[in-house]
């Protein structure tokens, strides 16, 4: 559940974690205590979580037919206007990759987390549906959904993408304009509604958990540090800490999300019964 009031009364961890824990085990232990004491946890996931399920990150080298194109040539309004069928087929190929992938232990650990804390807001920069397939509900999507399409002319509404490998771009059922992937392209603004939900959660949370993201791409990159300035403990789980900020309330846990996140959740909530069930 997402609290509507960012000034929600919060229970803070009694003492801030050390800036640079000496060992990974020590970092996990301190982070686990922070999670166990939290009433509201805000989670931000990035491409690193999906990559562990075999989904290439957006900027990785393309293969096959698509190796001659850069993502920037296929993910802009201008590209769609000039070559709608090419863009549509590329996204159809990406969608097929997602459908063949499965949620990994990091996704499962986040489902467990939602049942152990009073409030958990899950925010993602990813456009796949692995969080939902793992069992998470009410995912806040900053960049839209690869598994949905919408009207390129602006008709309201979003529709599940067809499972059929369509070669032609289908028309909008309302106006007849071409349908397009319901994702945020280069040159487009992020929808403000999900970002406002995410920002309010960052302000309100006791613990902000950043998983599988470099925290470079704005405005999502600001969310952990907004949380930190409002008194939250920030836990960063990522294979590398290059480019990540440091500070007295920031806990780095270096390693793959599929390994470190289950370990963190298990240590934090060992012996604790679920506070609520994930329906």
User: Using CA of residue 68, residue 100, residue 48, residue 277, what is the dihedral sign?
Assistant: positive
Catalytic residue among 40, 119, 131, 143: 143
Query: Residue 120: how many CA atoms within 13 Å on its side-chain side?
Result: 25
φ, ψ at 15 (rounded to 5°): -135, 140
Question: In sequence order, which residues have a C-beta less than 8 Å from that of residue 248 and are 6 or more positions away?
Answer: 16, 17, 18, 19
Give the C-alpha separation, 197 to 202, whole Å: 9
Residue 235: name the closest of 243, 223, 224, 222 by CA. Answer: 224
Q: What is the 3-state secondary structure (H, E, C) of 21-60?
A: CCCHHHHHHHHHHHHHHCCEEEEEECHHHHHCCCCCCCCC
Confirm whether 143 is a catalytic residue: yes
Q: Which residues are catalytic?
A: 143
């Amino acid at each position: 559940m997402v609290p509507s009031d960012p000034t929600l009364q919060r229970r803070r961890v009694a003492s801030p974690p050390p800036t640079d824990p000496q060992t990974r085990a020590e970092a996990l232990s301190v982070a686990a205590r922070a999670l166990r004491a939290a009433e509201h946890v805000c989670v931000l996931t990035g491409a690193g979580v999906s990559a562990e399920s075999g989904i290439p990150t957006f900027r990785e080298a393309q293969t096959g037919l698509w190796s001659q194109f850069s993502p920037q040539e296929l993910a802009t309004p201008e590209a769609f206007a000039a070559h709608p069928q090419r863009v549509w087929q590329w996204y159809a190929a990406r969608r097929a990759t997602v459908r063949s992938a499965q949620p990994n232990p990091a996704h499962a650990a986040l489902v467990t987390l939602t049942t152990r804390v009073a409030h958990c807001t899950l925010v993602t920069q990813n456009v796949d549906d692995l969080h939902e397939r793992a069992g998470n509900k009410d995912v806040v999507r900053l960049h839209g959904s690869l598994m949905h399409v919408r009207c390129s002319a602006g008709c309201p509404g979003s529709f599940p993408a067809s499972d059929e490998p369509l070669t032609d771009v289908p028309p909008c059922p309302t106006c007849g304009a071409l349908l397009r992937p319901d994702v945020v392209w280069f040159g487009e603004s992020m929808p403000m509604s999900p970002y406002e939900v995410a920002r309010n959660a960052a302000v309100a949370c006791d613990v902000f958990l950043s998983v599988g993201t470099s925290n470079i791409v704005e405005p999502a990159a600001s969310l952990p540090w907004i949380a930190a300035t409002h008194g939250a403990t920030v836990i960063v789980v990522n294979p590398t800490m290059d480019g990540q900020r440091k500070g007295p309330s920031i806990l780095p846990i270096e390693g793959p999300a599929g390994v470190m996140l289950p370990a963190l959740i298990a240590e934090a909530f060992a012996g604790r019964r679920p506070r609520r069930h994930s329906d």
